[in-house]
Chains A and B, each alone.
Chain A
Amino acid sequence: MEIVYVYTKKRSEFGRQCNFSDRPAELHVDILPDPSQMDNYIERNPCDNPTQCAQEMSEHEVNTERFQTETRGINHVEGGWPKDVNPQEMEQTIRYRKKVEKDENYINTVLQLGSLMEHCIKQNNAIDIYQQYFEEEEVSESAEEQPSAKTINVFRDPNEIKRTATGLSWHPDGAKKLAVAYSSLEFQRATKDMSFDSYIWDIENPDKPEMTLKPVSPLVCLEYNPKDSHVLIGGCYNGQIAYWDTRKGSQPVEMSTIEHSHRDPVYKVIWLQSKTGTDYFSASTDGNVLWWDIRKMSEPTERLILDPSKKGNLDNALGAISLEFETTMPTKFMVGTEQGQVVSCNRKAKTPAEKIVCTYSGHHGPIYALQRNPFFPKNFLTVADWTARIWSEEIKESSIMWTKYHMTYLTDGCWSPVRPAVFFTTRMDGTLDVWDLLFKQNDPTLSLKVCDESLYSLRLQDNGRFLACGSQLGTTTLLEISPGLCTLQRNEKALATAMFERETKREKILEARHREMRLKERSRSEQGKEEEMKDMDMEESSEDLVAQAEKEFFEVVEFELKKREREEEKSQNKADKEKEISEEKEAQD
């Protein structure tokens, strides 16, 4: 409500001097209370009214002028000699000292302090209070943590029709990228709409693959060139091999010619260690192992047929499903076959027959994974059927260590690149097992269900920390393993060496024993044959035996026939007799 008081003034009166005069009070506005306004308000009862009874204080800040300080040291050369004594002069100082020594106070003090000091000295000599106990034992490692693995990222197949992630390869530098090969390995399951593409994923970005690779036929396996990180080769479902350069785009730079390629899907390609860094070899279930050079993809540089009878006969050949190549041993390589045998070959052999050195059998099904232990190249791991086995090169009859038979097939496996006694396996029920042989040998140390569908492939990064596993529906999961499983424990190498040697020795002893037993049996059976021979000389020869057997047979047959005739006669006689009796009876009647 505005209170306004209007007054008027004549223009001529502006600027006139002020004449003040008294005037009684005038009432200008009288605002009476309006009870209706009360309706806008509610009486509040009770009312909260805080009060405080405290010392009143106020805060002030003061800043004094800065006071400059400086730290200086004083070199006390010779202390506090009294004025009359010249510190440089030996005589005077000696005299002064002698004077002090005569002082009674001095004597008492020194005696007292001396006894106190002696006590402490003796204490020191008695026990060294800072002695280090257990010096050899290092600081115990960070509290034994449960081994664990954590999923970091999941890369799904962007296509509608999901294909299996059959091959995985980490980028060689820094491992920031993962190349995944997608194909459908089930027989004739591939529909027309199924895409052939394989992808390169950046591990930070799971939504969209970084690059697509478009082959002519779906890729079963895929490998980065460890020397040149832009080059990849892939083995196709139709047996061809293609190579890509990621700088040049999604289409393969070159493909191998169909006539000279494999006749079955190429299950594994591995780069070779060579000066040019362009050699690789491939294996397929058609029984061939082919060597190629990237620069000339029109035909393989070398060919090996996996015929165990060493005759180069393709019909006899074993189908290869996995390959193993260790760069430290460039002339040897191993092939895992569909039939469950591991064939060890020597590349530098002169004749094809000599190329196949030996075979190791023991598995019931195709060998899906084959890898040498990076720390102990003499031992290798095979994963097939329901078990994973560890072999020693020297023992050909059986594996030195094996896992129990699982409920589902094992599909892939590999060693840890940092710990010699740790390896990983994947199973058809979607479980990833981590085995630590130094910790527990019967069961996996860690068993992790990664997904509901079966896992098909597994690949560890070189630092041993990250691993990628691919599943049947094309889902690639990136896992991080707990540090306990990927740092080398102390003594681990020594313990692992001892363990492998022990198992190898055990198998050797068993092998020797088997051999002995076999020899014994053989010699026994040979002896047995000799005795039989002697007996036979006394009897007739085999022909006479046959004649005799025939004779006996016919005798028995004739005997039986005669017996039957007699019985028939008997029954006939009986019937005749009865007839006679009945006739007689009739006659009588």
Chain B
Amino acid sequence: MSEVEETLKRIQSHKGVIGTIVVNAEGIPIRTTLDNSTTVQYAGLLHQLTMKARSTVRDIDPQNDLTFLRVRSKKHEIMVAPDKEYLLIVIQNPSE
């Protein structure tokens, strides 16, 4: 448990990291450093996107699987690390 804390704290302390969210398969945010409404929005939207990305990768090659998803936008980068049950979402501003 403390390792989890440590890991999440470490991630959050990196340069440019704006927020961290851990979401489960049902879309419930387990841990978050952002406010609730933002968290819920991110959780719902990114969950769908990750599912779509994963299905795309697997359609092209069924042996393949999605390991990481990065969405770079003008303002920041959203990084999603998917797992079977959980989703780790980090929002970072790389140019800072």
- Residues on A facing B (Cβ under 8 Å): 76-82, 96-97, 100-102, 105-107, 109-118, 120-122, 124-125, 128, 130
Contact = CB atoms under 8 A, between A and B. Distances in A.
A84 to B, nearest CB: 13
A80 B88 contact: no
A314 to B, nearest CB: 78
* Interface residues on chain B, size class: 35 or more
B14 A114 contact: no
Contacts of A78: 40
A121 B17 CA distance: 8
B7 interface: yes
Contacts of B16: 121, 124-125
B53 interface: no
Interface in B9-47: 10-11, 14-17, 22, 24, 26-31, 40, 43-44, 47
> Lowest 5 CB-CB distances: which A-B pairs, in order?
A79-B27, A80-B26, A114-B7, A76-B44, A113-B88
Contacts of B81: 113-114, 116-117
A125 B83 CA distance: 24
B7 A110 contact: yes
B28 A114 contact: no
B71 interface: no
Interface in B50-80: 67-68, 70, 72, 77, 79
B40 A109 contact: no
Contact of B4 (A80, A107, A125): A107
Contacts of B47: 79
Given A117-B88, A124-B16, A110 B79 contact: no
B8 to A, nearest CB: 7
B14 A79 contact: no
Contacts of A112: 83
Given A110-B22, A120-B79, 15 more contacts: A79-B29, A79-B40, A79-B47, A97-B28, A97-B30, A101-B4, A101-B31, A109-B83, A113-B88, A114-B81, A116-B68, A116-B81, A120-B68, A121-B79, A121-B90
Contacts of A105: 85
Nearest to A77: B40
A551 to B, nearest CB: 110
Nearest to A93: B28
Contacts of B94: 124-125, 128
Given A79-B44, A113-B81, A121 B28 contact: no
Nearest to A81: B28
A409 to B, nearest CB: 64
A117 B83 CA distance: 12
A275 to B, nearest CB: 56
B8 A114 contact: yes
B4 A111 contact: yes
A275 B43 CA distance: 73
B4 A110 contact: yes
B20 to A, nearest CB: 8
14 contacts: A79-B26, A81-B28, A97-B30, A100-B30, A102-B1, A109-B83, A110-B86, A114-B8, A114-B88, A116-B68, A117-B79, A121-B11, A121-B17, A121-B79
Contacts of B67: 116
Given A114-B7, A120-B70, A120-B79, A101 B30 contact: yes
B86 A113 contact: yes
A81 B40 CA distance: 12
A128 B95 contact: yes
B45 to A, nearest CB: 8
Nearest to B26: A80
A78 B23 CA distance: 12
Contacts of A121: 11, 14, 16-17, 79, 90, 92
A110 B93 CA distance: 22
A125 B70 CA distance: 14
B85 to A, nearest CB: 7
Contacts of B86: 106, 109-110, 113
Contacts of B83: 109, 112-113
Contacts of A96: 28
Among A79, A82, A97, the most chain B Cβ lie within 10 Å of the Cβ of A79
A132 to B, nearest CB: 11
Contacts of A120: 68, 70, 79
Nearest to A119: B68
